[in-house]
Amino acid sequence: MGKKDINRQSYNVIKMKALGAKIIPVLSGEKTLKDAVNESIRYWINNNNSYYLIGSTVGPHPYPQMVADLQSIISKEIIIQLKEKGYINPDYIIACIGGGSNAAGSFYHFLNKKNVKLIAVEASGLGLNTMSTAASIHCGSKGILHGSMTLLLQDEYGQILPAYSISPGLDYPGIGPMHANLFKKKRVKFLYSNDKESIKAGCELIKLEGIIPALESAHALSALKKISFNKNDLVILILSGRGDKDISIYNKFL
């Protein structure tokens, strides 16, 4: 885990340690997710007795496919819950997107249902026009990272640029290759939210519903204000994680 993420996600680190994990800080690069993936892959290819795991739809094939297949349980569950309430399809499914696992899982069984609008929300960090963003669909170009071809934040020489978002899970300079493809095919619409908008949306959910969303999920929430819905639209918004880990950041804004 990148040293920067160890510091800003200390709650998760405590939980992982309590469950028996040994956490090795990564000190290279930006000390965030990309650098942790770099070091994990490096360790894996140098150690026969190791096995590489990833929780997002990034990296070399078949990892993105495996993660999407496993996460497809989310859309299976959506179908079951909708049926219980007498519905078949939603009008919208909205998910935040870093590497793309929660979006892939929640879109999965709806990809062929053209009437279901699929929305993925990237983190624009301090803004699309700053160098402090993680919006690789909106600001990226075609390139190769961690063994897959996709859209990346990179310079003219193909050197990966540092990504930035207040949410560590979205702070990645690329996007899963399947999402780059879904963007190209126009099957998924990609929106973006910045740090401020997302924190505001997260605080609103905390106050109105007593639910503390992960900062990553708060990006999806803030996109609600950017879509013009019809009155009877059935909207599914994915809360990809709980925000206990982010409570000290919310605390500054509540």
Ligand X SMILES: Cc1ncc(COP(=O)(O)O)c(C=O)c1O
Residues in contact with ligand X by the rule CB under 6 A: 56, 96-103, 169-170, 214, 216-217, 240-241
Q: Which is nearer to ligand X, 18 or 231 (CB)?
A: 18
Residue 228 Cβ vs ligand X, minimum distance, rounded to whole Å: 25
98 versus 177: smaller Cβ distance to ligand X? 98
Identify the DSSP state of 223.
G
Q: Which is nearer to ligand X, 160 or 215 (CB)?
A: 215
> Which among 133, 113, 132 is positioned nearest to 123, based on CA atoms?
133
**Least separation, in Å, of the C-beta of 9 and ligand X?**
8
Nearer to ligand X, 124 or 240 (CB): 240
- Least separation in angstroms between residue 243's CB and ligand X is 8
Q: Which of 93, 181, 166 is nearest to 125 (CA)?
A: 166
- Write down the least CB distance from residue 171 to ligand X, Å: 9
Distance separating alpha carbons of residues 4 and 35, to the nearest angstrom: 10
For the bound state, the minimum distance from the C-beta of residue 5 to ligand X, rounded and expressed in Å, comes to 9
Long-range contacts: 21-29, Cβ < 8 Å, 24+? 25/1, 26/1, 26/2, 27/3, 29/2, 29/162
Peptide linkage before 168 cis (omega within 30 of 0): no
Shortest distance in whole angstroms from residue 83 CB to ligand X: 25
Residues near 173 by Cβ (< 8 Å), separated by ≥ 6? 34, 134, 136, 140, 145, 152, 153, 154, 160, 161, 162, 163
Closest CA to 173 of 142, 135, 124: 135
Nearer of residues 97 and 153 to ligand X, judged by Cβ: 97
Instruction: Specify the amino acid at residue 247.
Output: I
Cβ proximity to ligand X: between 133 and 155 the closer is 133
Backbone angles phi, psi at 189, to 5 degrees: -95, 135
Query: Residue 103 Cβ, how far from ligand X at the closest point, in Å?
Result: 6
Contact yes or no for 93/236 (Cβ under 8 A): yes
Q: Tell me whether residue 84 or residue 148 sits nearer to ligand X (CB atom).
A: 148
